[in-house]
Amino acid sequence: MRIGVNVPNFGPGTDPGMLREWARTAEGLGYDLLMVSDHVAVTPDVAGQYPAPFYEPFTTLSWLAGITQKIHLGTTVLVAPYRHPLLVARMAANLNDLSGGRFVLGVGVGWARQEFEALGVPFEKRGRLTDDLLQVLRDAWADESDYRSGQPPIWVGGNSAAAQRRAVRFGAAWHPLRFTMPWLREAVQRCEVPALTPRIALRLTEKPVTEPERMAGTGTVDQVVDDLDQLRSLGADTVLLDPFNGDPEETRRPEAAWEALAIVRKEHK
């Protein structure tokens, strides 16, 4: 099972130097994957959680590909309806080619209604638009003479039953985001997906977290390691750790997140 890191590509502390240090830290600790988020227009609903500056994922990952060696790079998640499907197909395939086959394309339907409005995209049609994009990707990448790098792996993000069905329909990995372990066990039993690539929180505590609604990845290092072992037993191919806990000021002080990542990497074999 591979383990990756969700790197904040937004917030007051984020700049090229900080992104470079995140990439070097994740790769230096031996993590397998580095992923970033996606927003195009930082409308008020987006800014409330992910304030500017917000670095666009394709250009950011292309740059990070040039300053890393082995770590894979991806999106968690690209908002599928925001861009023309053929543009996404071209950018994703080119990035996969330029990085030596290290790109993973995670996609989702999106949630920020004001951002949809700013981009002139109908919010109510976001599910259908996501399906359309996934179909275009499959069709476009089938022509290997035009896309030399072949087909990057696709992850379908989201915790809904529709996201699970979408992953099955398009033969993609299912990428649920932040959940409890009992919820995931039930979801996996309800629908068998081609692959499981979850994203969990990473918040280490000194004392065990005993609440029934404890999020996977939250608690002592022993609890987090046990969560990773349980995810492996459920068939997870890759697990993404998300050390961002919701306060944009965290982006100014990444040292705590880096320490937590180092501890987990050391303790999880």
Banded pLDDT at 29 (limits 50, 70, 90): very high
Q: Please compute Rg for the chain using Cα positions.
A: 18
Model pLDDT, residue 143: 74
Model pLDDT, residue 85: 97
> Would you say residue 145 has pLDDT above 70?
no
> Would you say residue 191 has pLDDT above 80?
yes
Element holding 239 (H helix, E strand)? strand 238-242
> Would you say residue 243 has pLDDT above 90?
yes
**Helix spans in 67-194 (H):** 85-98, 113-119, 126-141, 161-170, 181-190
How far is residue 85 from each of residues 38, 124, 137, measured CA to CA in Å?
15, 18, 7
> Would you say residue 149 has pLDDT above 90?
no
Task: Tell me the C-alpha distance between 116 and 108, whole Å.
Answer: 13
Average pLDDT of the residues of the chain: 96
% residues pLDDT > 70 (the chain)? 97
| Amino acid making up residue 207 | K
Task: Tell me the C-alpha distance between 131 and 135, whole Å.
Answer: 6
Model pLDDT, residue 128: 98
> Would you say residue 148 has pLDDT above 80?
no
> Would you say residue 106 has pLDDT above 90?
yes
Task: Tell me the C-alpha distance between 42 and 40, whole Å.
Answer: 6
Describe the chain by its helix, strand, coil percentages, rounded to 5.
45, 20, 35
Closest CA to 136 of 92, 192, 98: 92
pTM: 0.96
Look up residue 15 and give its two tokens.
Answer: 């700049």
